[in-house]
Amino acid sequence: MSKTHLKLGAIAIAAAFLFLPSLTARAQTSDQLARKKSIADLREIAYAGNVNAQLQLGIIYLTGDGVPKDDVEAVKWLRKAVDQENALAERYLAEMYFKGRGVTADHAEAARLLQMASALGDAQSEYNLAVLYTQGDGIPRNIKQAESWMRKAAEQDLPAGQQGLGTLYENGEAMRADPIEAAKWYKKAVDQNYVPAMNSLALLMATTRESSVHNPQEAIALATKAVAGGTNPDYLDTLAAAYFANGQNDKAVEAEEKALARDPDNDSYKKAMQKYLSATHGAK
């Protein structure tokens, strides 16, 4: 079985588009001349100091939406918005520093920008900052700070934050291990159809010794849903664990075979397969 880990979430660029009301209709037209005019108007507003226009222009250059992609120009406009304490711009500029796009890669600077965005209450930045604290990436590892920021993200109903807080409760690093509390937070993210949380909750239900949480049949249902909703081979590994916990050894082997087909060199999957095969042969 694979261990649940926190992973830094990638920015969903499209979700942050902040078209100004006066430009929305023109930005959506298929006519290239109108699009160029709308970008020219946006640039004029951005130069005048409008922070939303600066953010939008940065994203346009980042994505190549109506202009050639230009990371340096994207950084220029994002930085102007950062200078006006715009949380989204801080988060996006942090991503640029993480990836070395338009700037020299600098994880410490990325962490600093995420701290700024988190202080302004941006939930995704709070989550990303929490992950950095768990990894000690660009910032000293501090599991207590990780728990604090992850909780803030979770309490803003960010599914990744809810799953992350559940993981911290399950692993018991920042606080006493508590599978009941872990399951509660996983469930909040599952209720938002967050596939990674389905996997986390399924694995917990399949493997925990806490009787009020242990539920192999529900684990099978959740893991099956996760497999249908994502391509991560860990989801198949979890499904195998759920089948095994429910005494369905043959199905556990079948699911683990599919996980290994996607990731043949995964030692954890290989060990799980050996266990399931031994149980299957021993039962015959």
For the domain that residue 227 is a member of, what is the CATH number? 1.25.40.10
Q: How many domains does the chain have?
A: 1
The reply to whether 149 falls in a domain is no
- What's the average model confidence in pLDDT over 205-223? 98
- What's the average model confidence in pLDDT over 247-260? 97
Per DSSP, which regions of the chain are E strands? none
CB environment 192-201: b (16+ within 10 A), e (fewer): eebbbbbbbb
Q: How many CB atoms lie within 10 A of CB 262?
A: 15
Q: pLDDT averaged over the chain?
A: 90
Distance from C-alpha of 52 to C-alpha of 242, rounded to nearest angstrom = 48
pLDDT value at 13 more than 60:
no
Per-residue model confidence (pLDDT) at position 34 = 82
The reply to whether 100 falls in a domain is no
Give 30's pLDDT tier (boundaries 50, 70, 90). Answer: low
pLDDT value at 28 more than 70:
no
CB environment 15-37: b (16+ within 10 A), e (fewer): eeeebbeebeebbeeeeeeebee
Contacts of 203 (CB under 8 A, 6+ apart): 1, 4, 219, 223, 238, 241, 242
DSSP symbol at 3: P
The reply to whether 250 falls in a domain is yes
The reply to whether 111 falls in a domain is no
The reply to whether 247 falls in a domain is yes
Write down the pTM of the prediction.
0.85
The reply to whether 110 falls in a domain is no
The reply to whether 121 falls in a domain is no
pLDDT value at 257 more than 50:
yes
The reply to whether 2 falls in a domain is no
Range of the domain at 228: 194-284
pLDDT value at 160 more than 60:
yes
Per-residue model confidence (pLDDT) at position 86 = 97
Give 136's pLDDT tier (boundaries 50, 70, 90). Answer: very high
Per-residue model confidence (pLDDT) at position 19 = 34
